[in-house]
Amino acid sequence: MKSLVKRSFGVNLYVMKYVCMYPPEKPTRLFKLGAYIMYLLLTVPVPVLGSLYFFLEEDIPLDRVGDNAFALAQATVCVFKFAPFIINGDQIKKCIHYFESPLPIVFNDKQRNMVKASSNICRRNSRVFFILLICGYTLWSCRPFLLTEYRFPIDLWLPLNPLKKMTFFYSIYLYIVLAIGYIALACAVVDPLIGGLACMAAGQLSVLKDNLQHLHEYSEIEFS
């Protein structure tokens, strides 16, 4: 039978494992090195080059500012949001699985339903958020193909004109899609995980409240 955490956040933990934000039972140096390389290559360059584009380019059209602002802000925030998962992945894993502790004690079906309800909410919200975010990312990535001009999904400052050689243009385009895809996948599982852990804590607090309200009744059951 699956543990409470894996039953509630199965999709989250599965994806986090493949983006190197959920370490295995016995983390190796190779896993840690891969996590740092993936993080540095796919998270840092886009916000840095995107910021340089706004500072160094001249006469940027307002519609381009609007197209870039949200994605650039999100990518910048993720540099700091993902860092704890890379640096202190073991400690975060322990915090996630802390909710599998046997406390509080569950005495009856009503309390089991409290825990089950919070678990179902976490699983539902994680799946819905994941599907919607991936759909939005797919549409965002394909949007430039619908335009009449060659352009990237998000504008970056580059030392060379990418349109001089189409292989260079498509290589940069592919990198942007992969980098934002890494950010999108990680956000799709990390964001609902954070809220879901609070939901699980609320479910266990409901059980604790019920235990305190019926302390005399349950103490007789425990020691009978």
pTM > 0.75? yes
pLDDT of the residue at 148: 73
Instruction: Give the other-Cβ count within 10 Å of 46's Cβ.
Output: 23
Counting as low any pLDDT under 70, the low residues of the chain are 1-2, 63, 101-105, 107, 218-224
DSSP state of 214: T
Please tell me the distance from the alpha carbon of residue 87 to that of residue 119, in angstroms, as a whole number: 28
Cβ contacts of 218 within 8 Å, gap of 6 or more: 107, 211
H or E stretch covering 139 = helix 109-142
pLDDT digits (tens, 9 = 90+) for 49-99: 988 888 887 777 776 777 788 888 888 999 999 999 999 988 888 888 877
pLDDT of the residue at 210: 83
Q: Say if residues 128 and 213 touch (Cβ distance below 8 Å).
A: no
